[in-house]
Structure 1
Amino acid sequence: MAQIKTHFGSPRWQHATTSPEQYYAQCGRIWQDVDTLQQALTLNAFSQALTELNGFYAVVQQQPGKLFAAVDHIRSIPLFYGQRDATVFLSDEAEWVRQQVGDEVMDDLAREEFQLTGYVTGPDTLFPNVKQLQAGECLMITEHSNAPTVETQRYYRFLHTEPQDYDKALLEDQLDRIAVASIQRLIDHADGRQIVVPLSGGYDSRLIVSLLKRLGYENILTFTYGVPGNKESRYSKRVADALGLRWHFVEYSNELWRQAWESEARWQYQKWGSGWTSVAVVQDWLAVKIMKEKSVIDSDAVFVPGHGGFVAGSHIPDAAFTGEALDLDDVCHALFQGHYNLAPADLFTTQVSSWKTRIKEKAEATEIKTAWQYADAYEKWEWQERQAKFICNSVRVYEFFGYDWWMPLWDKEFVDFWQDVPLALRKHKAWCIGYIKKSYNEQATDKIENLGNASKSPIAHIKKKASKIPFARKAYSCIKLKKQNQHPLALYGRHDEKEHKSLIEKGVSIVGLNAHDFLNHPENKDKS
């Protein structure tokens, strides 16, 4: 007999019985009325209802013989599913699904992709029979006499239009209105609770705190971390001081990282936070751990990272602005160069051509005729893969320690706005940066125009480019080896210098070392 079994491990899930024969479960926050969602009887109706929602959520609706499920437009709360014989399993915990379907060995291709990118693309995970809902995707499971069927449908994609003409001043007014509205929804969600902002040297977190200041929210804590005197922390403190915000610094060292890395808690976080899909981000795991232990943060605090600035065009390749003819192969090449680089691809059995074919399949683009279509295809792939599975998945850090979170720059209305902004205004994110500087200067006492992004320095950009060139890789790796003890976040303290020397010499990046350690953890050795 066909069956559907569910398991929700997070206490954030809320269950509401809508009738004796139906239940509705929601994790996260939806702003609109969900009656239409609950009344949907077909996958198309369920998908259509989802297009009207804003918020950060995952939902499950079960009816007799049928189940609907969905994640939001950025997969902020993942859902996983798998099938074994006549039973389909659905859960917010990938490990539970793995155990139910009986997968014991990781897929070889998925392991290689995980090591190269930090995540597994498409609906796949490290295990062949454990699948995931992609960003902006929903599913319907239907019970039949012999076996259930699983259908998926994308109700949202991050796609652009290119307007023939536009009014720059009107667009800026619209941007300001929508940005303020997204921060107001954050304020409504926080409802007086402490808002904790990881304030980097970048622009995105600066926009969040500037608008919070403008709207008069007072219960704000900003923080940063790293070795004393690192550039990001200097920028961060300067911004916080200029806005009159409380600022906290968490000091990192190689020894602190070594102790944390060897702890069972670190592994439990990485295992759970990965969802068997991506490298669980650990950069600020140590900072949150220390701040919680020292009671720096309120127990009901809401963490608000600056994820989402990507939508303004910061990752569009320069090739889109050169005027040269571009096609789908150029998109695939740029995506491979930009994302399959945590380790040299020539260390693995899969050929570069095969990776580009896999990229093309996930890109879902048929032809590229214009520069904006090239940029659109590139950003669409990055949105559903790197942004959804790696960057935004970093909010698992806050959940692991029992905290709430919100990502105002991934607010659906804010994202929708950027889908209609012309390519010329998205080049290098320059137009958005101008808006951020203006918003900051309106609230700050320290009006410094050249207070830029510390993580985007010209030297850092050159180093990143050099690390991808085969003949320069070894020389660059030698520099990295000499500077392991000088990393601004002391991240190399997580890894044994002798054990990882050969990997660094081969060109494996710091995130690549993290992926390597995860895949080769003693608990995963028998799964390879």
Structure 2
Amino acid sequence: MSCISLVYNDGFSWVKENNISFKGYVYDQDGNFLADSGAISLFREISDRDALLSLMQGLDGAFSVIIRLENRVLIAVDAMSMFSLYYSPLEDGWLISDSAHVAGKKLPELMLNTEAIPEFQTAGFVVGNETLFRNVFKTQAGEVLVLQDDGSLQRECYHYYLPSKFYAAQPEQLSGRLKDILQGVSDRLMASLRGRTAVIPLSGGYDSRLIATMLKKANYRDVVCFTYGKPNRESVLSQKVAEGLGYPWVFVDYRDLDMHAYLADPIFLDYCDQVGNATSMPFLQEFFAVKHMHERGMIPDDAIFIPGHTGDYIAGSYVEKTIRKENAREYRPNTIARRYFGFRAQTGDERKHITGRLEKWFSDYAPPRASIDDSYDIYTEDWDLKEKFSKFVFNAAGVFPFFGYEFRFPLWDRDFRNFFRGVPFSLRSYKLLYDSVLEEAFFKPQGVCFGDQELKERPGDLRMQQLRKFLRPFIPGHVRERRMIERDYLMYHTFTGAMKKEMTDKGIVLPSGINHFNAIICHWYVMKTKEFTQLPR
């Protein structure tokens, strides 16, 4: 008989009713916000996979649900798998948990999944349903599973970010529709907050600023904005936005924090276990800021964090960088391996290995019929959201529940993403439609549009990035490292320096060709994961 062991209850708790366990929040087909028993009520009559798949098509939010039935367990996760579940085979079923470490405990031998290490070290996540533990598997974004007690399983994806057709409407008409959609997004956000303090990680960009202006436009008063690192252009803009809207602004200066012994801090190590979960790089940039504010009581215990994930991506900020086709004969797995797996230089064997793993991913991929664009690869974009954004970008929001707080993702709202799914790439390129609507409908009316001071990317910037990437292998390592530190306003060099020292002390030598501080974090995390497999159980 399959066994269920759920251990993480910070921020959002598992709620159990009879044979159903639920965690998170959900919007029903009518856009009503539901949590706890209200959310469980949606699943009470579900008795098979088809009924669950049908229900999931109409739901939105951040949640996971487990339904135990006779001889099987049904599992469903939201379109980003925000509360991922892990499962490993038992003699008579499956061990199911929200912890990869727990899921691996009853295996005859817990071993490192060496096949996944190259992709993890170069991109910060494990591709597909595997983890860094062999025979421990993970739910995928937008997935329904049936785990049978006889050891068999069925997996089916219900969510794809693919256009059924592209809109033929004029930009002015699309602008009007986007304004209406954003009003609906705002209404649903306000209803879900229920008067609790809204905390905005406010950068210098447009997504978090949109959330702040939505709150201001709705006369929501209990708002705190914060940013972190060391003073830079983004923090200057962040402060101007908060002050312009009349919201308090907190700056957590990382130069003032004592980080010299953080690798020995049980809180930090627990965070890495919980948020990394043998699948994703534990994101560090907000950890120290949220910990600082939490320990000093700077925000209420029931506050809700509202990050800007992932308005700019949905609106088109990455289409020129990652999904524009270079030529008609482009081979998708090889292009993805080259564009997405670049935290450090890949060896030839690693490139071949990662490409092969991506080939396997796409061989299992069965998307519905969609409208294509000759210049942009819609299937790479769908892969990007299912893999990198689910496991790397959205997973970073795990820092908020870790410290006991809830979150909301208004810019991953179903209506918002469904709208942009049909917007022609000519209006998504460089966020043309999105930025114009935000500036005219939200920022200028509230006095937080700053013209030439904005940190907007333009075509010339992309060409310079591509040139720097081409020249990178020819630049000496010490020069690359110096440039990384010069641009490091988040102080990554400080805490990755401690990681490098720990690895060096243990005889682990980092490879050459480090292009990003994340590579150091990934190598350190693989080391810690390997150490866990060697502990007595």
On whether the aligned pair clears a TM of 0.5, the verdict is: yes
Which letter does structure 2 place at the counterpart of 1:15? Answer: V
Which residue matches 1:29?
Answer: 25
Question: Residue 317 of structure 1 contacts residue 334 of structure 1 at CA under 8 Å; is this kept in 2?
Answer: no
After superposition, the C-alpha distances for 1:249-302 in whole angstroms (9 at most, x for unaligned) are 000128633333442221211121111100011101000011112211111100
How high is the sequence identity, in percent, across the aligned residues?
Answer: 23
**Is the partner of 1:305 in helix, strand or coil?**
coil
Q: Distance in 1 between matches of 2:460 and 2:251?
A: 26
Q: Cα deviations across residues 214-268 of structure 1 (Å, max 9, x unaligned)?
A: 11111110000111x2121111111112222211100012863333344222121
- The letter of the residue matching 1:336 is A
Q: Which amino acid aligns with 1:117?
A: A
C-alpha distance in 2, partners of 1:316/1:131?
A: 30
1:439 correspondence with 2:438: no
CA deviation vs aligned residue, 1:34-68 (integer Å, no higher than 9, x gap): 65643233212211111011211111111222221
Q: How far did residue 150 of structure 1 move?
A: 1.4
* SS in structure 2 of the partner of residue 68 of structure 1: strand
How far apart, in 1, do the equivalents of 2:145 and 2:6 lie? 17
| Structure 2 CA distance for aligned equivalents of residues 148 and 217 of structure 1 | 51
What does residue 164 of structure 2 align with?
161
Give the aligned residue type for 2:180: R
In structure 2, C-alpha distance between the alignment counterparts of 1:114 and 1:185, rounded to whole Å: 36
- Contact 1:103–1:127 (Cα < 8 Å) also in 2: no
- 2:521 is aligned with 1:514: yes
Higher mean alpha-carbon deviation, 159-168 vs 313-322, is at: 313-322
| Partner residue of 2:198 out of 195, 200, 203 | 195
Judged with a 3 Å threshold, the aligned counterparts in structure 2 of structure 1 residues 361 and 67 are, in CA distance, closer, same or farther, namely same
Flag the 1:334–1:284 CA change in 2: closer, same or farther, 3 A.
Answer: same
Q: 1:361 to 1:425 in 2, by over 3 A?
A: farther
Determine the C-alpha separation between the residues in 2 that align with 1:162 and 1:277.
34
1:337 has 2:338 as partner: yes
Number of equivalences: 513
- Report the counterpart of residue 298 of structure 1 in structure 2: 300
In structure 2, C-alpha distance between the alignment counterparts of 1:91 and 1:151, rounded to whole Å: 18
**Which residue, out of 376, 379, 382, partners 1:380?**
382
C-alpha change, 1:312 and 1:459, in structure 2 (3 Å) is: closer
Gaps of 5+ in 1: none
Which residue pairs with 2:81 in the alignment?
75
- Checking the alignment, whether the CA contact within 8 Å between 2:271 and 2:402 is kept in structure 1 is yes
Tell me the CA shift for residue 193 of structure 1.
0.6
Alignment of 1:53 onto 2:59: yes
Rounded Cα–Cα distance in structure 2 between residues aligned with 1:381 and 1:413: 20
Output aligned runs, 1:97-116, within 5 Å: 97-116=103-122
Mapping 1:172-321, distance limit 5 Å: 172-227=175-230, 229-253=231-255, 256-309=258-311, 310-317=313-320
Q: Which amino acid aligns with 1:46?
A: L
Give the C-alpha shift of residue 459 in structure 1: 7.0
SS of the equivalent of 2:242 reads helix
Contact 1:120–1:277 at 8 Å: present in 2 too?
A: yes
2:322 and 2:488 map into 1 onto residues whose CA distance is 31
TM-score normalised by the chain length of structure 1: 0.89
Once superposed, what is the RMSD of the aligned Cα atoms?
3.0
Distance 1:465 1:120, change over 3 A: farther
Q: Distance in 1 between matches of 2:385 and 2:318?
A: 10
Contact 2:167 2:423 (8 Å CA) reproduced: no
Name 1:84's counterpart in structure 2: 90
Q: CA deviation at 1:378?
A: 1.6
Q: Check 1:73–1:183 CA distance in 2 against 1; reply closer, same or farther (3 A cut).
A: same
Shift of 1:440: 3.4
Question: Counterpart of 2:36?
Answer: none
**Are the counterparts in 1 of residues 343 and 515 from structure 2 also a CA contact under 8 Å?**
yes
**SS at the partner of 1:515?**
helix
Letter in 2 for 1:8: L
Letter in 1 for 2:200: V
Q: Are 1:15 and 1:23, in contact at CA under 8 Å, matched by a contact in 2? A: no
Q: Which amino acid in the other structure matches residue 521 of structure 2?
A: N
Within 1, Cα distance between the matches of 2:375 and 2:20? 39
Q: Aligned partners of 1:204 and 1:247: how far apart in 2? A: 17
Alpha-carbon spacing, 1:119–1:23, altered in 2? closer, same or farther (3 Å): same
- 2:82 is paired with a residue whose SS is coil
Q: Which residue of 1 aligns with 2:32?
A: none
- 2:421 maps to 419
- Asked if 2 retains the 8 angstrom alpha-carbon contact of 1:196 and 1:221, the reply is yes
Counterpart residue identity of residue 339, structure 1: Y
C-alpha distance 457-407 of structure 1, shift in aligned 2 (>3 A)? farther
SS where residue 29 of structure 1 aligns? strand
Structure 1 distance, partners of 2:456, 2:243, is 17
Q: Name the stretch that deviates more: 251-260 or 395-404.
A: 251-260
Q: How far did 1:334 drift?
A: 3.2
Residues 339-358 of structure 1 aligned to structure 2 (within 5 Å): 339-346=340-347, 349-350=349-350, 352-358=351-357
Structure 2: tracts of 5 or more residues without a match: 29-38
Deviation per residue, 1:186-212 (Å, 9 max, x gap): 221211110000001111111111111
What is the rounded CA distance, in whole Å, between the counterparts of 1:527 and 1:438 in structure 2?
57
Residue 173 of structure 1 and its aligned partner are, at CA, apart by: 1.9
